[in-house]
Structure 1
């Protein structure tokens, strides 16, 4: 599995001084997306709607609103 490109602005472009521990979104070679965010599984697992499920190997990851909004233009329609 390989990262093809960043989706949206880099952490530095979004105002991170260090650019080290910031949320990020990447498109993978197979078309999937990888997200770097804060693990909030313990906090949000019980809040999932009844029609949502999470496997033991999956985590609920939170990214900032700004990260996703600035990535919107780079997310392909198909």
Structure 2
């Protein structure tokens, strides 16, 4: 789903249409769309030159990794 949302935003950008808000892209990423988001960013070079977005994006991914580690540690007890 995140792949399609990011790809749609890229298409909208290329065609000067209304864009999807960056916060929406970040929320979709946080809700489990990291892989799709990363794939779209790499394949279509979408949002890769916008430093502020990349900083927030990698912050979201870092939070996800931390949450997964905490969950896995807690489930081992």
TM over 0.5: no
More helix by proportion, 1 or 2?
Answer: 2
Q: Which has the larger strand fraction?
A: 1
TM-score of the pair, normalised by structure 2 = 0.29
